[in-house]
Structure 1
Amino acid sequence: MDFGFLKIAAATPGVKAGDCSHNIARIAGLIREADRQGVSVAAFPELCITGYTCGDLFGQPFLIEQAERALARLLADTASCRTVCIAGMPLAVDNRLYNTAVVFGSGIIFGVVPKTYLPNYDEFYEARWFASGAEPHRETVELCGQQVPFSTDLLFEDGKVCFGVEICEDLWVPHPPSSRLAVAGATLLVNLSASDEMVGKHAYLRSLIAQQSARTLSAYLYSSAGFGESSTDVVFAGNGLIAENGIFLNESERFSLEEQLTVAETDIERLLTLRRKTNTFASYGSGTLCKRIPVALRADREQFPVERGFNPSPFIPDDPQQMQQRCEEIFSIQVGGLAQRIRHTGTHSAVVGISGGLDSTLALLVAVRTFDKLGLPRRNILGVTMPGFGTTDRTHTNALRLMESLGVGIREISIREACAVHFRDIGMDDADRSVAYENAQARERTQILMDLANRTGGLVIGTGDLSELALGWATYNGDHMSMYGVNCGVPKTLVRHLVRWVAAHPDYEVARGWLLDIVDTPISPELLPADEKGEIVQKTEDLVGPYELHDFFLYHFVRFGCRPAKLHFMACRAFAGKYDAKTVKKWLTVFLRRFFSQQFKRSALPDGPKVGSVSLSPRGDWRMPSDASPAMWIREAESL
């Protein structure tokens, strides 16, 4: 399967202004290289067949004639290549000259798109030579002996792939033509450009491309003029930029003296899924009815397998500075949500169950920061540690010391005796270690927290995280329940980073040692007795699988609707060298089974703040029948 991936490229040939024969030779070489690499769509710069900087030479009929002859040779020279290309050239139509993008492949011209917005300010004088494509003109033109469509409203499509073309300045105006093309169905937007360099301009260009690809939920392929264009008054850097929904997939080297082919694989299926989910995109209307032109994009995926890499931790930014900003923002959202809930209820106290694990630690830190922000004493936060049959000395000590270092109220209430009485009441054998043995402890703890909250007039702060909600790794009406769940939008892989981030803050220096030890403690509900050395026996990831895998599945399944085969493929690529295909398949099947079977717990979730693009709140982001069948998904996973 190709899973919707499309290999595209921004090509930067070395040109000579006014030398069409030289230019098409360089273009042809890059087309052949793109074809060799399995590229489906390749974009070349604006007016690259003549060179952008020809100036008043554009008024010479000889140059226009030679440009068409050069294009004819280019079509013949690359007829055996399967890459669909877009290259710029001047084209005379009746009484006007147009700056155009020619779409061609396998010797066939599919269509010609004229530039809409002609810059005629500062160093630009395009209106001196060219007419705008927005002006009335004929709908077809004869080019290289072929009768082809000629319009600003052309879409080129092959199955699920649909692309549209705009030229340079078109992107810089308030309402770019690409916006109209995207609404009409283009998931790939192509821009042929000849944008010169100035201090600060490149950063602004990148922001335009990122924003346009994000706003239109598309891939944006940008190719700009480079070395060889005249430097009489300006310099061109040869920018090749490829973005997908606001994220850059690849960029060329700026100011290179060599030709470049900047290649990336965009996920068209992902973009279509996002568009279908985002109803405001669809409700914008179809815009202008564009003419759809069939093109044949290569389908030899077996020969050119997907090479795109995938971040194994999609919830965690790679850049340390961005990670710091992400942690601060998420923590602030959690604090803001809890602060509003406390003010709304008029309470001045909170109750948090503290286990010495990651989730309860983060919930306590959020509560502390919230009370500080509201000007309430930290002593009004009642931290409750409730040792059970599986509590180890390490987690018990960490829980107590953490609460002491943060200056909150502390209660220790053992649940062993209460659970023992309960086991006798329900006729359970002392040696029974079934799910009832575990869940009874979780429900006993929740009852204690709820009753303490009633006594103090406070709120029970929930500790369960997003990953646990996805897997249903919570006891129904036990730790599953609270009065406000501050961690419900935070995946497990991110909880660890948030706690470590807080630990590094100067305000929490006293608690730092305990926080860092909690970060290093194995994840466990501690509901089964410890071993003879007092160590944790019940390790969550041994039972349900690695959270880093489950968070990867969760992100791509919920946000982009990836099918099991695609999840498996992407995970194998992302975790190559760490998990083999068999292991990925095993835990993917577990994820799917649990995700479907545990929906009933998510359907009864307490309130809590959404912090990212993936959320499982039944009141917003994820609405699913509790008895939905996973059969189709499981069958595909098991067949891998």
Structure 2
Amino acid sequence: MRIALAQTNPTIGDFDRNMAKMKDIIDKTKSRNCDLVVFPELAVMGYPPKDLLEKAGFIEDNLQVIKGLIKDSKGIGVICGFVDRNTSSVGKPLYNSALLFYNGHILLKVHKRLLPCYDVFDETRYFEPGPPTSSIAYNGKDMGLTICEDIWNDKDFFERRLYSADPVEELVKGGAEILVNISASPYHIGKRNIRWEILKNIATKYKVLVIFVNQVGANDDLLFDGNSLAIGPDGRIVAMAKEFEEDVVILDTQTQKGETHPITQTDSESILKALVMGTRDYVTKCGFKKVVVGLSGGVDSSLVAYIATEALGNENVLGVAMPSPYTSKESMEDAAKLSKNLGIPLEIIPISKIFQAYLKELSSVFKGRAEDVTEENIQARIRGNILMALSNKFGYLVLSTGNKSELATGYCTLYGDMSGGLAVISDVPKTMVYELARYVNREGEIIPQRVLEKPPSAELRPGQLDQDTLPPYEVLDGILREYIEHSKSPSEIIREGYDPEIVREVIKKVERNEYKRKQAAPGLKITTKAFGYGRRYPIAQGYRGL
């Protein structure tokens, strides 16, 4: 049997576009003599649809698309994900479902049994868990069909299981020779290897062929890396699709040989491709064509400008430098050099006169008070207003340039440098920003070398450096990783060798600035725990745990 693994990049709710793409792949794989084509979880509507699932018309449209696919697909079997109604009077009204159909007939329907409700997942909000299912004979092979989380519960792999049932074990006991898993499994650093280990464990433990087909592309803050694959009973990868782009690979189940396409080799390469994909999809799926980036001459804005250029092309990126009285000549030179290296236009809009106008108008109110962070924030907010004015006038999307270290500690200005429609690197710690910038320059200077060497500074007052306010980033990022991504307590972090006073001060900053993060632009998730939908902390709360 020839099986096509078809990882698609759906736009949530764009049923016509999604259906047209699926039909095109069905026709092409049929012409390549495939017996079966497999699409990802909820391929008809895109994952995650969130509260669109509460709209009756949305559900009906998805069902009509499925009916159309079943009617029009001839001469090849199709597996794809969709949302089905729960006709019972008990339980949630919907199922996260999958169909196998051939020549106008439904051969198998399954409902997802294990519904994740952690981090970015919220499936129990909408879906009812499905009942146990059996495998089905297709082209002479017993095939079991599962959906994403259904394979993430093996008692020999997970130290603590979240569910009592193991759908994989039940299907194998029922005679399944091939296990198909359709997924919308989001990306984070290291996720690929975890998936490989889970799939390899299943394949070798049960001596079955495992086929995994994953969604690719970005939907809001979530990035999906694709990397669909098949693993044989001996644990070998026998077919593999690319990462971060749509792809189709074909597997011959008789020979257990298939197409294997190249994948990323380092974390830096993987992260950059994820961010480029995420930026491109967010911008284009939201209906924008061009973006504007404020260029300070620092490493963060330099990296964001590079990502935007890779995602959209240099003709669709505008750089804007907005020097203040405290902007150094070197920063302006670096911004200009970066723009030239990237081939993007650079507008220079000085803010000194606007800043002085603010100070003049506020002088009577501020009388008798020394300058402080207020005047620094005014400069940041002037810049934010200029970028938003350009966005309004020309229809460009503003990309904000703050990193995770700044967002965590509140070292950013609400309605200032936080202004924008997408926070491209808000889940990238500062030390990782430097790593990515060096990777960008691996074959020649794109980001000016001086940007990587000079001490980071917001340049909002004379002689200002980030380290006047924050610990060294190597220390700060280590503490933030343990506290945010690993959920460790202050005492646990201190026992790892960090200075107790620094740990307590960093965590105070994190807790004090939750209100800022609630008002931040959506950010692309690349770590195990990002600020946003998957990290839900109250703003008004008294627990500190210090």
TM-score (norm 2): 0.52
**CA distance change for structure 1 residues 350 and 212 in 2, over 3 Å: closer, same or farther?**
closer
CA distance in 2, matches of 1:356, 1:429: 34
Residue number in structure 1 paired with 2:210:
none
Contact kept in structure 2, 1:363 and 1:463, CA below 8 Å: yes
CA distance in 2, matches of 1:616, 1:434: 28
| Cα deviations by residue, 1:546-568 (Å, 9 ceiling, x for unpaired) | 12222111111122221111101
Counterpart pick for 1:492 among 426, 430, 437? 430
1:383 counterpart SS class:
strand
User: Map of 1:605-624 to 2, 5 A cutoff?
Assistant: 605-617=520-532, 620-624=533-537
1:632 counterpart SS class:
coil
CA distance in 2, matches of 1:416, 1:401: 22
Deviation at 1:407, TM superposition (A): 1.0
Structure 1: which 5+ runs fail to align? 1-173, 186-209, 217-321, 373-377, 530-536, 573-583, 634-640
Q: Does 2:446 correspond to 1:520?
A: no
Residue number in structure 2 paired with 1:153:
none
**CA distance change for structure 1 residues 412 and 585 in 2, over 3 Å: closer, same or farther?**
same
Contact kept in structure 2, 1:324 and 1:501, CA below 8 Å: no
Aligned residues: 302
User: Map of 1:458-477 to 2, 5 A cutoff?
Assistant: 458-477=396-415
Residue number in structure 1 paired with 2:298:
357
User: Map of 1:62-461 to 2, 5 A cutoff?
Assistant: 178=156, 182-183=160-161, 325-372=266-313, 378-427=314-363, 428=366, 432-461=370-399
Contact kept in structure 1, 2:489 and 2:545, CA below 8 Å: no
CA distance in 2, matches of 1:501, 1:184: 38
CA distance in 2, matches of 1:611, 1:323: 15
Contact kept in structure 2, 1:349 and 1:456, CA below 8 Å: no
| Cα deviations by residue, 1:466-499 (Å, 9 ceiling, x for unpaired) | 1111101101111122111111111111000101
Return the letter of the residue paired with 1:338: T
Return the letter of the residue paired with 1:621: G
**CA distance change for structure 1 residues 344 and 629 in 2, over 3 Å: closer, same or farther?**
same
Residue number in structure 2 paired with 1:29:
none
CA distance in 1, matches of 2:534, 2:405: 15
1:504 counterpart SS class:
coil
Q: Does 2:471 correspond to 1:554?
A: no
Deviation at 1:460, TM superposition (A): 0.4
2:293 counterpart SS class:
strand
Residue number in structure 1 paired with 2:514:
599
Residue number in structure 2 paired with 1:571:
497
**CA distance change for structure 1 residues 184 and 611 in 2, over 3 Å: closer, same or farther?**
closer
Contact kept in structure 2, 1:385 and 1:412, CA below 8 Å: yes
2:438 counterpart SS class:
helix
CA distance in 1, matches of 2:378, 2:492: 39
Contact kept in structure 1, 2:154 and 2:161, CA below 8 Å: no
CA distance in 2, matches of 1:430, 1:504: 52
1:439 counterpart SS class:
helix
Deviation at 1:409, TM superposition (A): 1.1
Structure 2: which 5+ runs fail to align? 1-151, 164-192, 200-262
Q: Which runs of 4+ in 1 moved over 3 A?
A: 174-185, 210-216, 428-432
Deviation at 1:614, TM superposition (A): 2.6
| Cα deviations by residue, 1:364-387 (Å, 9 ceiling, x for unpaired) | 011110123xxxxx1331100111
Contact kept in structure 2, 1:592 and 1:630, CA below 8 Å: no
TM-score (norm 1): 0.44
**CA distance change for structure 1 residues 403 and 468 in 2, over 3 Å: closer, same or farther?**
same
Deviation at 1:215, TM superposition (A): 5.5
Give aligned-pair identity as a percent.
27
CA distance in 1, matches of 2:441, 2:536: 36
Deviation at 1:348, TM superposition (A): 2.2
Which protein has the larger Cα radius of gyration, Structure 1 or Structure 2? Answer: 1
Counterpart pick for 1:540 among 449, 453, 466? 466
| Cα deviations by residue, 1:207-242 (Å, 9 ceiling, x for unpaired) | xxx9699769xxxxxxxxxxxxxxxxxxxxxxxxxx
CA distance in 1, matches of 2:298, 2:264: 22
